[in-house]
Amino acid sequence: DVPAESPESYYSTARRIASETPGSFYPDQYKNQMNIEAHYRTTGPEIWDQVDGNIDIFVAGIGTGGTLSGAGKYLKEKKPEVKIVAVDPEGSVFYDYFKTGKLPEPHVYAVEGIGEDYLVKAVDFNTINEIIQVNDQESFEMARRLSREEGIFAGGSSGSAVLAAVRYAEKNDKEQNIVVVLPDSGSRYLSKIFNDEWMKNRGYID
């Protein structure tokens, strides 16, 4: 792992490749406001239509910020009382920033696809009602449970999102319809989350 501003980071590498490749397009999804707009125009309406407007809570991880901010904005416009709940891994900066307004010192975490070590410009904090923080072990355990108990073959960030939804539901005993975005497939993690040896070597399972 290297800092975001390092020439070796995947952010810098993507910019460099785009600058060196004629005719290339660099979407810059962490800063590009069209990331939010795309989910405002597509993901939000799709969710609203699929549940016929019967939604009380929308849960999604914070990665680039596009899904949460764009879909969340649309859902709030359709139904202002909808609560937007973000999911952030321990070690990322979003949870502490949302709670305190200050940037914490980030540290390494293993779950992929959510969290960051700097503030992403495509995250609209005004849309978010609550952020729930989760750790690697419990996220991976939930991903394995989803496969084993529900037949849903999803990855670590999906485990994080479902875990956050369960925690929110446990704290709020009122009957509510919760929609959760599962953004990754378990097929990407066969050698990691779904590999007992990998999990044991890192102390996630006995």
4 part of a folded domain: no
User: At residue 150, what are phi and psi to the nearest 5 degrees?
Assistant: -115, -10
HSE value, Cβ hemisphere, 13 Å, CA-based, for 92: 28
Residue 204 has pLDDT above 70, yes or no: yes
Tell me whether residue 17 is in a domain: no
**How many folded domains does the chain comprise?**
1
Report the share of the chain in percent with pLDDT over 90.
85
Could you tell me if 165 and 180 are in contact, meaning their C-beta atoms sit under 8 angstroms apart? Answer: yes
Assess if residue 29 is contained within a domain. no
The residue segments making up the domain with residue 183 are 37-201
Half-sphere exposure of 158 (CA within 13 A, CB side): 19
Q: Is residue 14 part of a domain?
A: no
Query: What CATH number is associated with residue 133?
Result: 3.40.50.1100
Q: Which of 28, 24, 36, 35 is nearest to 11 (CA)?
A: 28
pTM as predicted:
0.92
Residue 168 lies in a domain: yes
Whether residue 49 lies inside any domain: the answer is yes
User: In whole angstroms, how far apart are CA 103 and each of 95, 106, 113?
Assistant: 9, 8, 20
Q: Is 28 a domain residue? A: no
- Alpha-carbon gap, residue 58 to 80, rounded angstroms: 12
Residue range 60-93, pLDDT digits in tens: 999 999 999 999 999 999 999 999 999 999 999 9
DSSP symbol at 154: B
Rounded to 10°, the helix 136-145/156-171 angle is 90
pLDDT-based confidence at residue 6 (cuts at 50, 70, 90): confident
pLDDT confidence bin for 1, thresholds 50/70/90: low
Lowest-confidence pick of 1-15, 49-63, 89-103, 165-179: 1-15
In a domain, 93, yes or no: yes
